[in-house]
A and B are shown apart, each in its own frame.
Chain A
Amino acid sequence: MKLTKTLLATTALTVAAAGANAESHVEMADSMTIVSWGGAYQESQLKAYVEPYMEQNPGVSVTWDESSPEAVAKLRAMDEAGNITWDLVDVTAADAMRLCDEGLAMEVDHDEILAEAPDGTPATEDFGDMIVSDCFVPQIAYSITNAYRTDVDEWEGRTPEDICALFDTENFPGNRTLERRPINNMEWALMCDGVAFEDIYDVLETEEGQQQALDKLDTIKDQTIWWTSAAESIQTLADAEAVIGSSYNGRFFSAIVEQDQPLEMLWDAQVYDIDGWIIPEGLSDEKLARVEHFLKFATDTQRLADQAKYISYGPARASSVPLVSTHAELGIEMAPHMPTNPDNSDNAFVQNYEWWADYRDDIDAKFQAWLAR
């Protein structure tokens, strides 16, 4: 009985709040479905800007959908069914480009819909090169990088200095763990096979170059455990199943700093990638108004800097970088753990989206055939 009453009261309150909201913003919907990755990353989004936004705009309800890994396929299916149920989708830059190509994401005018920096720099300049597609609103820069265990007896005190330790089974024996797709692995293989940094993609364009990379990977194939989700890779390293391997830098951060695993970062040749929002094509006017209102808030300078309190991903805005402070719970400085920190970014490179958009299907077929053999 009591429960029913409480429920009724809550419902009444919600309705009242919704009504009040509808009056103040006549044209805005009061609910949004946001699609993200789940886990620590979604938590950082919730803390840094979704909760503050809901506080400022009582009556707005947010539904989360943790479908970002399959966002492209699901959006395509929704579009074919003629019923898009998502309002804002968090995707990687490569996926944003594909969604834009397929006409599933809306092209946006960044200067118009995004807030400018506190000093008045327009958004397009503040985000700079991070805007890799007309549909894409960047949020964070992360990287795919490597880490190694610090307690391997066979290494006799040697510590990996550069990316080629991955392929050096003599000095650094033990299992490796790498992502089960060609992107990044092919580049690292060529770098360690004597190909100059700037020639990598020219070489990879040729049949011989692709074979060269696969041959290099062949030298560690028997000792590699291939992962498909980043959590697997961390688990494999934490269990000492593998002694060195790749994952996202934020995952390593939480394993090393928050969970105290005996791991050390190997920042050399880390590959930057960008993550951000896209708005699905074909939202109703009310939904679009709400989404744009939220987006302006969620990607402003302070909010992006706030997000770095909860996860070690670098804010996509140049103006947010100086504002990055300490971890919300541990109180440690976050800057040294950012992939964009100068000490970490010596030999870093940015994933070549356009190139991979062309070659992914072809090289992936060869890579998977190589793996299966």
Chain B
Amino acid sequence: MSDATSNANTIDAPTPEKGIAAAEAKNNPVLAADGTPLKKSLRRALRAQKLRALMLIAPLLIFVLVTFIAPILDMLFRSIENQIVSDTLPRTTSQLSEWDPATDELPPEAVYEAFYYDLFAAVEARQHTRLGQRLNYENTGVSSLFRGSGRDLDDFREDQVEYIEDFSPEWEDAGYWLSLMSGEGGEDFLDTRRDAILALIRESKRSPLGDLWCATIATCATAPEDIDIGYTPSAEVIDLLPRTSEAYADFALITVLEEEDSIAEEEPWEAVYVALAQDLAETPESELAAFSGPQAQALVDLKAGLADVEAQSFRDLFAQSDDDWVTPSPWRTIQTYAPAYTTGYFLNAADMQKTPDGPEFRPENERIYGLLLQRTMFLSLTITFSCILLGYPIAYLLSNLPMRTANLLMILVLLPFWTSLLVRTSAWKVMLQQQGVINDVLVWLGLVGDGSRLVMINNQFGTIVAMTHILLPFMILPMYSVMSTIPPSYVRAAKSLGATNWTTFWRVYFPQSVPGIGAGSILVFILSIGYYITPEIVGGTTGTFISNRIAYHISSSLNWGLAAALGSILLVVVLALYWAYDRIVGIDNVKLGG
């Protein structure tokens, strides 16, 4: 929408560049007054000029980037982002990758075991229901599956937990556990676990900009990467009791980072006890006895004692919690959505879904977005055309009347502009409804029977009427500003040369007003394609736009990924139309004013 009168490239006159090129062709550099080649000095001067110009627009540029472009990109990025699954269930997803979802076989016990430890940490960090919600978009019922099993998790392998706790009072003592797990050489191990837990609790990762900010401008709280957890894992214990070390590290990290408690005072989670029992069962007695810590004998005794305590498999435990865990369905969903980036939202926005066999169309009765997109296009085009039809005569009138009258009319055009959008929309409701003003008048005139009042609202007609009215000023204003620059002498000249009124208008006046129509159409079309308040109120079921679904997914269903995918598709469609418009009409042919 820029003015295209000053196109410097087409000017065929001597310029400094040409002069230099000519001089260089003769292999004879032109020198400036101080002896440097003129080319260099000129380039320096130009660079300074450009830099100054850039500095002048920098505040606005930065403002637009930070407050407009960045949030939009961030929002659109959500349409593919899917890290929540692998962040919440890191061990499960890596175990699951070897499972073949096409068979009806259940995942191996190792998956259930990994899932137990993942889910336990997620429950403690209160993230499991969030993941449940995410997966529920893809597989109905997963939400309550996660919520329900999250509650049951504390009781898994209860017998073992109780046995250890009752074995000797030390095992219930936070300090005893801490001394068992502490030692030397486990820093890297703790850092690895810290990264995993930070991903789980979604603490913002430290950014270079944030670091600079904290170092220079503000005093910040210690970054979660630097908070002291209160112990250093012992490398020996990590080798001896790998599961316990991992579970204990998770416990320690979440206790300190999320709950801000001290591990010296908190008894470990049940999961740590379960892990210990599992580790002891798998570690030979000789290795336990060789442990250098003072707890070696206690571990040996505990191992002997635990041998008699029955441990149910994790699969059975999950099956008792909910039957659905022993069907392949939730595991397929977890596996399908394990990657950090997904096309799932875009497929959903295209009325498709992911299946183990690749993308497939949804059943007929669930397809909606294609229909809505078509409808949005159709209605927006109709609204644009009705705006042209209604706006053109008004703009013509405005530009041809004397100033005083034109100003008065202009105020009338702008008046609805200053009224609240909701008031205008509701007013149309009063006008158009079956017991409304128009129908009442028609019945009173006898044109329509009382029993057969016209249905003019809660359908596409209502949307077109109300939106045309609301967007009309956006069409009239650019048309008016273009028309008021068309010199009246052209029309007079055409007439004096014998043209009829129609020929004068069609051959002389209209072509000159086309840039105004173009600008108005682009404005109205782009505005209407994203409208949702008016269609929501007057559109009923057939007159709503795709934006209404986007608004629904943003504010009600909270499926922001799908909303972002729909928004991205809408953006691409608008850009494509803009490109097509440029190819057909030419964007140079669009003017907002003289």
Interface residues of A (CB under 8 A from B): 69-70, 72-73, 76, 82, 98, 100-103, 175, 180, 211, 221, 225-226, 228, 232, 239-241, 354, 357-362, 364-366, 368-373
Q: Is the CB of B130 within 8 A of A369?
A: no
A180–B368 alpha-carbon span in the complex (Å): 15
A370–B542 alpha-carbon span in the complex (Å): 11
A102-B367 contact given A239-B433, A359-B140, CB 8 Å threshold: no
Question: Which residue of A70, A103, A358 is within 8 Å of B141 (Cβ)?
Answer: A358
Q: Is the CB of A368 within 8 A of B549?
A: yes
Count of A-B contacts with CB under 8 A? Answer: 86
Q: Is the CB of A366 within 8 A of B366?
A: yes
B132 partner residues in chain A, CB cutoff 8 A: 101
Q: Is the CB of B133 within 8 A of A241?
A: no
Q: Is the CB of B435 within 8 A of A103?
A: no
A372-B544 contact given A70-B555, A241-B435, A358-B136, CB 8 Å threshold: yes
B142 partner residues in chain A, CB cutoff 8 A: 358
13 A–B pairs (Cβ distance < 8 Å), ordered by A: A70-B555, A82-B204, A101-B130, A101-B147, A102-B133, A226-B541, A228-B536, A239-B433, A241-B434, A358-B142, A361-B140, A361-B557, A372-B371
The proximity string for B residues 539-556 relative to A, scoring 1 for CB distances below 8 Å and 0 otherwise, is 011101000010000111
Q: Is the CB of A365 within 8 A of B136?
A: no
B 552-589 contacts with A by CB, 8 A? 554-559
A369-B558 contact given A102-B129, A103-B130, A225-B540, CB 8 Å threshold: no
Q: Is the CB of B368 within 8 A of A368?
A: yes
A360-B557 contact given A98-B133, A226-B540, CB 8 Å threshold: yes
A226 partner residues in chain B, CB cutoff 8 A: 458, 540-541
Q: A101-B129, A101-B147, A211-B365 are in contact. List 20 more A-B contacts (CB 8 A).
A: A73-B556, A73-B558, A101-B143, A102-B133, A103-B130, A221-B541, A226-B541, A228-B536, A232-B537, A241-B434, A354-B144, A354-B147, A358-B140, A358-B141, A361-B140, A362-B140, A364-B557, A365-B368, A366-B366, A372-B372
Q: Is the CB of B127 within 8 A of A103?
A: yes
Is B126 engaged at the interface, CB distance under 8 Å to the other chain? yes
B 353-380 contacts with A by CB, 8 A? 365-368, 371-372, 375
A69, A70, A373 — most chain B CB neighbours (10 Å): A373
A102–B559 alpha-carbon span in the complex (Å): 13
A69 partner residues in chain B, CB cutoff 8 A: 555
Q: Is the CB of A358 within 8 A of B144?
A: yes
- Nearest CB of B to A15, in Å: 27
Is B163 engaged at the interface, CB distance under 8 Å to the other chain? no
- Nearest CB of A to B493, in Å: 54
The 7 closest A-B pairs by CB, nearest first: A101-B129, A362-B140, A369-B368, A73-B555, A371-B541, A103-B126, A70-B555
A182–B537 alpha-carbon span in the complex (Å): 18
Is B137 engaged at the interface, CB distance under 8 Å to the other chain? yes
B133 partner residues in chain A, CB cutoff 8 A: 98, 101-102
B126, B366, B540, B541 — most chain A CB neighbours (10 Å): B541
A69–B557 alpha-carbon span in the complex (Å): 12
Q: Is the CB of B554 within 8 A of A73?
A: yes
A321–B424 alpha-carbon span in the complex (Å): 43
A82–B220 alpha-carbon span in the complex (Å): 14
- Nearest CB of B to A234, in Å: 13
Q: Is the CB of A365 within 8 A of B540?
A: no
A355–B436 alpha-carbon span in the complex (Å): 41
Q: Is the CB of B129 within 8 A of A369?
A: no
Q: Is the CB of A372 within 8 A of B542?
A: yes
A366 partner residues in chain B, CB cutoff 8 A: 365-366
A226–B367 alpha-carbon span in the complex (Å): 20
Q: Is the CB of A361 within 8 A of B366?
A: no
A72–B204 alpha-carbon span in the complex (Å): 21
Q: Is the CB of A365 within 8 A of B558?
A: no
Instruction: Considering the complex, give the chain B residue whose CB is closest to the CB of A369.
Output: B368
A358–B133 alpha-carbon span in the complex (Å): 8
A370–B368 alpha-carbon span in the complex (Å): 9
A175–B542 alpha-carbon span in the complex (Å): 17
B 127-162 contacts with A by CB, 8 A? 127, 129-130, 132-133, 136-137, 140-144, 147
B 54-104 contacts with A by CB, 8 A? none
- Nearest CB of A to B167, in Å: 32
B143 partner residues in chain A, CB cutoff 8 A: 101, 357-358
B435 partner residues in chain A, CB cutoff 8 A: 239-241
B368, B435, B458 — most chain A CB neighbours (10 Å): B368
Instruction: Considering the complex, give the chain A residue whose CB is closest to the CB of B201.
Output: A103
A70–B144 alpha-carbon span in the complex (Å): 23
- Nearest CB of B to A23, in Å: 28
A371 partner residues in chain B, CB cutoff 8 A: 541
A102 partner residues in chain B, CB cutoff 8 A: 129-130, 133
Instruction: Considering the complex, give the chain B residue whose CB is closest to the CB of A359.
Output: B140
Instruction: Considering the complex, give the chain B residue whose CB is closest to the CB of A175.
Output: B434
A359–B141 alpha-carbon span in the complex (Å): 7
A366–B362 alpha-carbon span in the complex (Å): 11
Q: Is the CB of A365 within 8 A of B366?
A: yes
Instruction: Considering the complex, give the chain A residue whose CB is closest to the CB of B348.
Output: A365
Q: Is the CB of B558 within 8 A of A76?
A: yes
- Nearest CB of A to B346, in Å: 16
A70–B556 alpha-carbon span in the complex (Å): 7
A226–B536 alpha-carbon span in the complex (Å): 10
Q: Is the CB of A369 within 8 A of B366?
A: yes
A357 partner residues in chain B, CB cutoff 8 A: 136, 143-144
- Nearest CB of B to A103, in Å: 5
A100 partner residues in chain B, CB cutoff 8 A: 129
B141 partner residues in chain A, CB cutoff 8 A: 358-359
A101 partner residues in chain B, CB cutoff 8 A: 129-130, 132-133, 143, 147
B147 partner residues in chain A, CB cutoff 8 A: 101, 354
A211–B365 alpha-carbon span in the complex (Å): 9
- Nearest CB of B to A226, in Å: 6
Q: Is the CB of B433 within 8 A of A241?
A: yes
A98 partner residues in chain B, CB cutoff 8 A: 133, 558
A228–B544 alpha-carbon span in the complex (Å): 13
Instruction: Considering the complex, give the chain B residue whose CB is closest to the CB of A70.
Output: B555
A70 partner residues in chain B, CB cutoff 8 A: 555
A175–B458 alpha-carbon span in the complex (Å): 12
A368–B553 alpha-carbon span in the complex (Å): 12
A372-B558 contact given A240-B435, A357-B143, A358-B140, CB 8 Å threshold: no
Question: Which residue of B126, B140, B365, B537 is within 8 Å of A369 (Cβ)?
Answer: B365
B559 partner residues in chain A, CB cutoff 8 A: 361
A241 partner residues in chain B, CB cutoff 8 A: 433-435
- Nearest CB of B to A68, in Å: 12
A241–B435 alpha-carbon span in the complex (Å): 6
A101–B144 alpha-carbon span in the complex (Å): 10
- Nearest CB of B to A95, in Å: 10
- Nearest CB of B to A178, in Å: 11
A102–B130 alpha-carbon span in the complex (Å): 5
- Nearest CB of A to B560, in Å: 8
A24–B555 alpha-carbon span in the complex (Å): 41
B 443-489 contacts with A by CB, 8 A? 458
B 106-130 contacts with A by CB, 8 A? 126-127, 129-130
A82 partner residues in chain B, CB cutoff 8 A: 204
B130 partner residues in chain A, CB cutoff 8 A: 101-103
B144 partner residues in chain A, CB cutoff 8 A: 354, 357-358
- Nearest CB of A to B159, in Å: 28
Q: Is the CB of B540 within 8 A of A369?
A: no
A73, A180, A221, A240 — most chain B CB neighbours (10 Å): A73
A103 partner residues in chain B, CB cutoff 8 A: 126-127, 129-130
B537 partner residues in chain A, CB cutoff 8 A: 232
A368 partner residues in chain B, CB cutoff 8 A: 368, 549
- Nearest CB of A to B117, in Å: 20
A354 partner residues in chain B, CB cutoff 8 A: 144, 147
A315–B509 alpha-carbon span in the complex (Å): 71
- Nearest CB of A to B429, in Å: 8
A103, A239, A371 — most chain B CB neighbours (10 Å): A103
A102–B549 alpha-carbon span in the complex (Å): 22
